[in-house]
Amino acid sequence: MSKKELKPEQTAAKPASKKMRTKELIYAGAFGALYIVLMMVIVMSFGMVPILYIIAPIAVGLVCGTVYLLCVLKVRKFGAALILGILFALMTANGGIWSICGVIASALIAEVVMLLGKYKSKFMYLLSFVIFNLNMACPYLALATAKDAFIQRSREYYGDKYADGIAALATDWIWFAVLGFAIIGGILGSLVASRLIRKHFEKAGVV
Amino acid sequence: MGFDVYDDESKALLHFDPRTKFMLFVTSLIVSVNCFDLMPLLIYSVFLCAIYFLCGKRMQAVKLFAAFAFLTYLKFAMERAGTGAPVVVMIFSTLITVFLFFFPVLISLMLITKTTRINQFLAAFQAMHLPNALIIPLAVMFRFIPTVQEEWQGIRKAMAFRGISMEPAAILRAPMKTVEYILIPLLFSTISVMEELAAAALARGMDSEKKRTSCETVKLRVHDDLVMLVFLGIAGYFVYRKITGGAA
Amino acid sequence: MIELKNVDFHYGGENGTGDGVDALNLTIHDGEIVVLCGESGCGKTTVTRLINGLIPHFYEGELLGEVLIDGVNVSQSELSETAKKVGSVFQNPKSQFFNIDTTGELTFGCENLGMPPAEIARRLEKTKDDLKLSALMNRNIFELSGGEKQQIACGSVYATEPDIFVMDEPSSNLDQKAVHRLHDTLCKMKQAGKTIVISEHRLHFLTDIADRFIYLNDGRIEREFTCEEIMQLSAEALSGLGLRCTSISQIPCAPQPLNQQKKPALEVLDLSCSRQNARILDIDRIRLPEHGIIAVIGDNGCGKSTLAEALCGLLPCDGSVSFGEAYLDAKQRQKQSYLVMQDVNRQLFSDSVLEEVMLNADVTEHDAKSTLSALGLGDYTDRHPASLSGGQKQRTAIAAALCAGKEILFYDEPTSGLDCRGMERFAALLHDTQQRVRLSVIITHDPELILRCCTHVLHLANGRVSAFYPIDLAGAERVRSYFLAKSEDSTSKKRDHTSQVGKILQYAGDHRKTVCFAAFLMILGAAASVTPYGIVSILANRLLTGESVTLQNSMPLIGGILLCEILYAVLYMQGLKVSHHAAFGTLENIRCRLQEKLEAQPLGSITERPSGEIKKLFTEDIESIEMLLAHMIPEGLANLFVPAAALLLLIAADWQLAVLTVLMVLIGLSISKQMYKVGMDRMGSYFASARRMNNEIVEYVGGMEVVRVFNRQNDSDAKFEKAVREYRDFALDWYRVSWPWMALYGSVFSHIVLYTLPFGGLLILLGQLDVTRYLLALILSFGIGPLLLHCMSFVGAIPQVSYKLQSLERALDTPPLKAGDAAFSGTDHSIRFEDVHFSYRDTEVIKGVSFEVPQGTTFALIGHSGSGKSTLAKLLVHYYDLNSGRISIGGQNICDLTQDALNAQIAYVSQDAFLFNKSIMENIRIGRKDAADEDVMAAAKLAECDDFIRSLPQGYDTPAGLAGSMLSGGQKQRIAFARAILKDAPIIVLDEATAFVDAENEQKMRRAISRITQGKTVIIIAHKLRSVQDADRILVLRDGQIAAQGTHDALYQTSEDYRRLWDISAQTQDWKLKQEVTA
């Protein structure tokens, strides 16, 4: 298999339409289920130990990268990543309205990236996953925006000492750290995914 | 996720339309972000618990409310006593505060998942005129989650025979290999189920471009309208306050 | 009408394999039922896909030619349009449904077509009635069995009312009952005039419905058969074409010789396995021989897969499993066994076949390659496993198991969906590996596979072992009759998710309110017991703050304490009284429920059990629940609420201490939970060994007399000792596991003061806490402590009670007798046995017996011991349910009658006459409840027992216990006769009734018998052939089958068996101790 270009679609009886058909919608939903189950399992097992909670985006990126790439490779149309993103947003809706927006935004950007690569460029696919994995950082987004308001309220309630204590703990750099982890997770995940796909799925002829 | 496929509806005194429950959820999101006083939060949570109770999950509503009341009491006692090492106090009060503010969202989420059947859900989505392109993947996702769990159970059993261990120590020793062993059979078996499912669904006439009907009917009734109005009012109030930047 | 004109198709696209069909020309008229058959890969599935439009819309490739349905070209119209005319059912039940609930799935097709809700509801009702799906409505699809899922799939397609049904291997994953149901569904569709196209391997269930069989080979239609033609093909011809058998009764069997090994390869003792509060397996004993190939059969849901998983060590279970001679635990069993699952996709981990086989296995590449080539995969070593066909994937998994050196292989449905050659190849594979592995166990629904290569059959029903037999000629017959039997439906039950407490409350029934009241009283009482501590702390407070404490101003407080204590005592007593009341009420409900269950059981299975066991069940076991019930719920609740309230107070006092207390309590709880969990495993074997020991003791005492006379003390003692020792070992095992946790708990966590004291002191020193509050907290914790401890002990009681309840239910859970509710409506009192098969435990005792007893005649059954005579008589009175066949009286099946109606028709006199502990008059009156005393005495006179009864101390009123010791066996027998005479039933069965009789009484008995049998239909079973010489007809039984029948003279002439029996009998009649020498 060539490095840069992937196998083009074979000609079918009808010209392939640009829109996602029922078959592809079903595929997207099924991969979405897989993505979300894996994500939840990882987050819950990491969530036991508070420190590891922050590293969760790396693990999720590692594991779910393959799922994401398989999904978009099987569909190869606009909308696969978006649907995954919307499903993800629904499942993590308790992160607040900003979290939902963030997830959908990152999914959209990922879609655009793939579109720019005309669904053929391998590098663009990998990049789109890196962007997609940013959605793991979105639940923390709510914390970041609400944090200032929260600190202010606490100052009024508990006094300065307490509020300073909180401010010391919940510094800004935690959020940047999470963002960084998400990017690292995305890169690692896409590398792992490309290796796995080449080793298994292309060899078996599924993709 | 804890979706009940067929919950025991005999205990429910009221049936709310799923759309109402969505509205409650959105309102809870807004409230939890914008409300900082304890009293309004308390009243709001009581309201939600009452609705949850009416919808049939009596024991759970009572238990949740008891937990909420207990934590409020604890917080109150802590503040009144004013004693304790600052670190400990801070950790505890943060945890409690986070939970308290999170509570309405939790309840409204449980209201959605544990008292609604999935078919009602999808029928509600259709009534809201969401595009088929969104409803079909959602329906497939719900149906697939138990399948993924089943496949996963099967794969763990197969792993046990092959001597592939899933203990944390083993995972840390060879993370890449473990990821491969988990993902490969999972993906292959899921893909084969997926393809068969798609073939079966298409052969039975499913088409994303055509409108589907549903044997479940979702209708907005009197209590739905009432509740929606009330909660819309609450949400509107909070948003208004936020916009005008009012003080506590 | 379906027309395929010159259709040419080859798969292309992303999954292109290049094969397909060539030059197909096929016409199917309306209302026809066509079966497409052939080997795997011949193109049958492709034809079905062409018809329902999946080719080319879903499966891409080059299509030439036309597929017309009613004149419309399917390949060019939309799939949703085609779906209106063609309904499709696919092979794999678990991947074709779109919804999670059954009702939604049934309406799925209609919803897709956009029908209005009213119409959908109407069609749902119609489908439910036509296909008999009412038991499956409103359920979670994931809980259904494969056959039920397939039923729902058929229903879903049926609801859209298409004209054409297309089915792709619908029966491949189904068990035999489900196949019968599928057959009935197809008949229904045929009646409605639909066109059905089925692509199938299993042909035997289609031979009576199909119109045509079309045989495809390599993408072309080669031949067409009608039903008769295909039935006439011999087994070799079918195999040559690659087709499976067309009729189950014709499957050839090659019995496998197996060297009888002494030690078993796998032995199981007391295995029980439960999931989510429901018990699935309950097995006493299994022994599987070395190098055997065991087929496990049974209905879906009976626990076959669970058994396989438990044996491999995947599922936690109670009981002991040994491989070879060593008892192994779950992890060790996993290392030595391997389960080839039905879904092979889940077992392949690597990217090449060679890698897969060498994964984590201690094998050289050379050996791995040779194993692969032995299995026919030598050319595929570098291919990716996912690109292989199903059969090849399966062989890869088996190769992996062999290379890993596994000793015991389990297969879960290996041949479902395989064609004839695939099945033959698999059977050959099993043969080749037979000597290499210790044991192969196959779960299967495939009779051809079983008869081709298996050595034994293990039949499971309802989580229990129903039979275990080798496959010799008789065994093969049993297998065939199992697969041919058309028994009633049994749909899987809805999973019972009631929690343990819920179950107990269920039994409480109307006593629930009493339980609540008791709980309320106890809560008040417990509150009253804690209040004194509060009062004391007030007193102490006063002291600390320097107020003067005199007797006077503390009087009210002391009075308060006194009042509280009195209140506590009174309320607690009341509460206990009420709760015991409720508990006994619950026990009453339980006993009544169990008694109902017991009554519904076949008499045979009740008499099988040692009476000690049933007695223990009803008296001791149920009694032992009482204690727990009475105390558990009310006291437990009280002991929960009051500490909770006290905790709230504690928080008000000092929250830090409160948090610490809660933390410690939680840790203590988790420790006791852990102890419980760890002990749970052993508890099962402990209770089982207790039960065995009990039975052993009963037997020991009961058999003492016999043991002494025959001098077998040593054996008997040894057995007794062994049972007791085993019990001790299991008990110790259980305790040993629980001891560390109990010790930990008792020492460290039972006294909270251990923590609050120093911690509180620290806080005081730090100035965080003042002494008054500290004192309050301490005192409160003293008050709560005992309550919490009390509560803890009851938490452990709940699972125990639930377990006991479950084992009670389980003990009486054998399938109830299939009795009906009709009254007797037969034309006369003739008896007819039609092809009766009955097996008892592992042996088939009655093998196809048919005979008829006309009204008013006397029939005699004779034969050697063990030939089945008594069994036949017992079957007539419905002691057991038959395996197959029919017994009827006057044309009416005895299974349709109520037990009462049946028993009213038959008087059964057996060898052992049981006398109840009443007067003789009452004992005889049992024959007919409303008989007058004169009738009783008349019957006694006819039975020739009047004289000796009158000679008893109180005549007819002598209590039978007293009389029993004075009566001989023959006299007791005559009382039994009196009963039968009094009953005056039209049919009489005498089962070796003259067994105990000495010569003098025999004459009297003979007279009595001839009096009874006037004008009735009689069946006599006897050893003494002289006594039945005059019977109208004599039946000679040998080995469960009729060897000969006729009158005495005719039989003496024709039947050698009869002659032999007669001669032996004559000899014994004339047997004397010493030969008299005639001068």
CB–CB contacts below 8 A, A to C: 36
At C837-864, the pLDDT tens digits run: 888 776 778 888 888 888 888 888 888 8
% of chain C with per-residue pLDDT over 70: 91
What gap in Å lies between CA C173 and CA C95, rounded to an integer?
A: 12
Contact yes or no for C349 and B88 at CB 8 A: no
Distance from CA of B201 to the nearest CA of A (A): 9
| pLDDT > 80? residue A200 | yes
Give the amino acid at C41: G
Contact yes or no for A23 and C387 at CB 8 A: no
% of chain C with per-residue pLDDT over 90: 7
What gap in Å lies between CA C317 and CA C270, rounded to an integer?
A: 10
What gap in Å lies between CA A45 and CA C610, rounded to an integer?
A: 52
At C224-258, the pLDDT tens digits run: 988 888 888 887 888 888 888 888 777 777 776 66
Strand C278-289 relative to strand C264-275, pairing: antiparallel
At B141-192, the pLDDT tens digits run: 888 888 898 898 889 888 888 888 777 777 778 888 888 888 899 999 999 9
Determine the Cα angle at B233 with ends B231 and B234, to 5°. 65
Task: Please give the distance of CA C280 from its chain centroid, rounded to a whole number.
Answer: 7
Contact yes or no for C384 and A204 at CB 8 A: yes
What gap in Å lies between CA C786 and CA C961, rounded to an integer?
A: 54
Identity of the highest mean pLDDT range in A153-162, C714-723, C816-825: C714-723
Structural tokens at position B206: 């499913």
Give the amino acid at C672: S
Give the Å distances, CA to CA, from B195 to A206, B199, C634: 11, 6, 56
Query: Taking the CA of residue B29 as centre, how many other CA atoms within 13 Å lie in the half-sphere pointing to its CB?
Result: 16
At B44-68, the pLDDT tens digits run: 888 888 888 888 777 888 888 888 8
The pLDDT value given to residue A153: 62
The pLDDT value given to residue C89: 93
Chains linked to C by 3 or more Cβ pairs within 8 Å: A, B
Contact yes or no for B147 and A33 at CB 8 A: yes
Give the amino acid at C737: V
Chain C residues lying within 8 Å of B203, measured CB to CB: 52-54, 58, 79, 83, 86, 88, 90
Interface residue of A9, A21, A203 to substitute, partner C, most C CBs within 10 Å = A203
Smallest Cβ–Cβ distance between A13 and the set C16, C63, C387 belongs to C63
pLDDT bucket at B1, cuts 50 / 70 / 90? very low
- Is the CB of C65 inside 8 Å of chain A's CB atoms? no
At C674-710, the pLDDT tens digits run: 777 777 666 766 777 787 788 788 888 888 888 888 8
pLDDT bucket at B248, cuts 50 / 70 / 90? very low
Chain C residues lying within 8 Å of A200, measured CB to CB: 351, 384, 386
- Is the CB of C746 inside 8 Å of chain A's CB atoms? no
Chain A residues lying within 8 Å of B206, measured CB to CB: 22
If you average pLDDT over every residue of chain B, what do you get? 80
Pick the residue from chain A with its C-alpha nearest to C55. A13
Q: Are B143 and B201 in contact (CB under 8 A)?
A: no
DSSP B132-169: HHHHHHHHHHHHHHHHHHHHHHHHHHHHHHHT---SHH
What gap in Å lies between CA B27 and CA B155, rounded to an integer?
A: 41
For chain A, give the longest Cα–Cα distance.
Answer: 73
Smallest Cβ–Cβ distance between B158 and the set C111, C346, C350 belongs to C346
Structural tokens at position C682: 């052993």
| pLDDT > 50? residue B31 | yes
Give the Å distances, CA to CA, from C425 to C209, C235, C368, C371, C480: 30, 17, 20, 16, 22
The pLDDT value given to residue C15: 53
Task: Please give the distance of CA C885 from its chain centroid, rounded to a whole number.
Answer: 23
Contact yes or no for C56 and A200 at CB 8 A: no
If you average pLDDT over every residue of chain C, what do you get? 82
At C4-36, the pLDDT tens digits run: 888 888 887 655 566 788 888 989 999 899 999
Smallest Cβ–Cβ distance between C384 and the set A12, A23, A203 belongs to A203
Pick the residue from chain A with its C-alpha nearest to C54. A23
As a whole number of Å, the end-to-end CA separation of chain B is 36
What gap in Å lies between CA C111 and CA A127, rounded to an integer?
A: 40
Residues 83-102 on B with a CB inside 8 Å of C are 83-85, 88, 92
The pLDDT value given to residue A68: 93
Task: Please give the distance of CA B101 from its chain centroid, rounded to a whole number.
Answer: 16
Give the Å distances, CA to CA, from B59 to B56, C791, C798: 9, 21, 19
Chain B residues lying within 8 Å of C160, measured CB to CB: 204-205
Strand C318-323 relative to strand C326-328, pairing: antiparallel
What gap in Å lies between CA A140 and CA B126, rounded to an integer?
A: 32
The alpha-helical segments, DSSP class H, found in C655-712 are 655-702, 704-709
Contact yes or no for C386 and A206 at CB 8 A: yes
| pLDDT > 90? residue A161 | no
Pick the residue from chain C with its C-alpha nearest to B66. C644
| pLDDT > 60? residue C490 | no
Higher pLDDT, C679 or C92: C92
Distance from CA of B139 to the nearest CA of A (A): 8
| pLDDT > 60? residue C132 | yes
> Which residues lie closer than 8 Å to A145 by C-beta, 6 or more apart?
A98
Higher pLDDT, C545 or A159: C545
Q: What is the DSSP letter of C913?
A: P
Structural Rg of chain A based on CA atoms = 19
Pick the residue from chain C with its C-alpha nearest to B153. C346
What gap in Å lies between CA C676 and CA C678, rounded to an integer?
A: 5
